[in-house]
Amino acid sequence: MLSLDQMKAISRQSPAKIVLLVIDGLGGLPRPETSKTELETADTPNLDRLASKGICGMIDPVSRGITPGSAPGHLALFGYDPLKFTVGRGILEVLGIDFDVKKRDVAARGNFCTIDQRGLVVDRRAGRIPTEKNAGLCKSLSAIVLDGAELYVVPVKEHRFAAVFRGDELSGDVTDSDPQQVGVAPQTMVPLSPTAQKAARLANEFAAKAKATLADHHPANMVLLRGFSQYPNLPTVAEIYKLNAAAIAAYPMYRGLAKLVGMKILDTGASIEDEFDTLVQHYADHDFFFVHVKMSDSAGEDGDFDAKVRVLEEVDELLPKIIKLDPDVLVVSGDHSTPALLKAHSWHPVPLILYSKWGRLDRVREFSEPACSSGALGRFPAVEVMPLAMANALKLAKFGA
């Protein structure tokens, strides 16, 4: 695998267009009654035709046996080694709520929690307070004034919020206050490097003031913080691949991940049809499009096999909108598997179609896990998808003399 610098040296700008369609949580597991996965169950004539015309394979987002979070799953698809480039929990949380995070910010994931009179945590999630209650409490916490930094406390869902410290000389190299168990007190946050001393001091100051502010708000009478992190400094896809890339994603976290690698975020409606229409509308303006379909993953996480099948069928039905654009390269795959049977992300490899004029066809005639397992691309790491897409768009020069 080439380094990003080596890739930079051979990539070249051209008018050829690449569309990367990411069906989140695409891969599944067979339902015992039928021995068919969600994708095998779904009626997908358009995807099957694309599989026939393209070359297929199976990708491992991180490596065999490893279940990826959303960040490593997407970074790999964008061509970034997910073991080398990591995104902290706090940053991912603020990306997920469209918060305009700055490079000097330190972000942490927060939980409202319940402590008893002795100060010991009795419920790490404060009984999962309603999101509306959360919003009110975050407003109160936002009024806290810290010595040497601005503070943003932004509600997420139920007991979850994000805390952002904005100031000079901050670092995310700070331990969690969340003890990850009940019956003990929230932990003092400690700097893990000298440059993190200020951030740790601010975090402890915030926790102390939050405790005072929340004293009368049982069960949400304290906060727990974890995943302190800063915006990772990634080379952009413009730098590496010389791409003028755009992202179409209805869910904030995926817009955030695309922003991390320098893609332009296009405004879009929430449905799959809206997203595909957004692609059609902006097709002339960019040479790379990342299109993200979220609901397949949500259905998988809910354990709703049939709902996931329906999402896949909806993608299939709308696929001609993309096909009609006749992109030079069309990649259809997922960032990881989310089998409805497991109700969670999983480690299973993900089927992939790479369609281009320059594919050496294989015998796969159907878009499914078993069919793609015998595809000509074989089984390979997701981080190699971008080089393959670039090559098939004739956007990569020869490596070496």
In the DSSP assignment, the letter for residue 11 is B
DSSP labels, 102-154: -TT-EEEEEEEEEE-TTS-EEETTTTT--HHHHHHHHHHHHT--BTTBEEEEE
Other beta carbons within 10 angstroms of residue 367's beta carbon come to: 28
Mark residues 220-249: x for contact with a copy of itself by CB under 8 A, - for none.
Answer: -------x----------------------
Name the minimum Å distance from CB 323 to a copy of itself: 19
With respect to a copy of itself, which residue has the nearer C-beta, 3 or 193?
3
Residues in binding contact with a copy of itself, number by CB under 8 A: 67
With respect to a copy of itself, which residue has the nearer C-beta, 226 or 286?
226
Burial per residue of 62-80, b for 16 or more beta-carbon CB atoms within 10 angstroms, e otherwise? beeeebbbbbbbbbbbbbb
Bridge partners, 60 (sequence order): 381
**Among 1, 9, 143, 215, which residue interacts with a copy of itself (rule: CB under 8 A)?**
1
**Among 23, 38, 50, 88, which residue interacts with a copy of itself (rule: CB under 8 A)?**
88
**Among 89, 198, 259, 286, which residue interacts with a copy of itself (rule: CB under 8 A)?**
89
**Among 46, 52, 86, 271, which residue interacts with a copy of itself (rule: CB under 8 A)?**
86
The bridge status of strand 329-333 relative to strand 350-356 is: antiparallel
Tell me if the bond preceding 72 is cis, omega within 30° of 0: no
* Coil, strand or helix at 335: coil
In the DSSP assignment, the letter for residue 271 is S
Cα 41 versus chain centre, distance: 26
**Among 21, 346, 355, 366, which residue interacts with a copy of itself (rule: CB under 8 A)?**
346
Burial per residue of 371-382, b for 16 or more beta-carbon CB atoms within 10 angstroms, e otherwise? bbeebebeeebb
Which residues within the stretch 283-342 sit at the binding site for a copy of itself (CB under 8 A)? 341-342
Which residues within the stretch 8-67 sit at the binding site for a copy of itself (CB under 8 A)? 10, 27, 29-30, 35, 37, 58, 62-67
With respect to a copy of itself, which residue has the nearer C-beta, 286 or 345?
345
Q: Which H helix or E strand runs over 163?
A: strand 160-166
362 is an interface residue for a copy of itself by CB under 8 A: yes
With respect to a copy of itself, which residue has the nearer C-beta, 53 or 211?
53
360 is an interface residue for a copy of itself by CB under 8 A: yes
Q: Is 162 exposed, middle or buried (0-12, 13-18, 19+ CB in 10 A)?
A: buried
**Binding range to a copy of itself, per CB under 8 A, among 114-122, 298-306, 320-328, 368-376:** 368-376
**Among 70, 221, 268, 338, which residue interacts with a copy of itself (rule: CB under 8 A)?**
70
Name the minimum Å distance from CB 72 to a copy of itself: 4
382 is an interface residue for a copy of itself by CB under 8 A: no
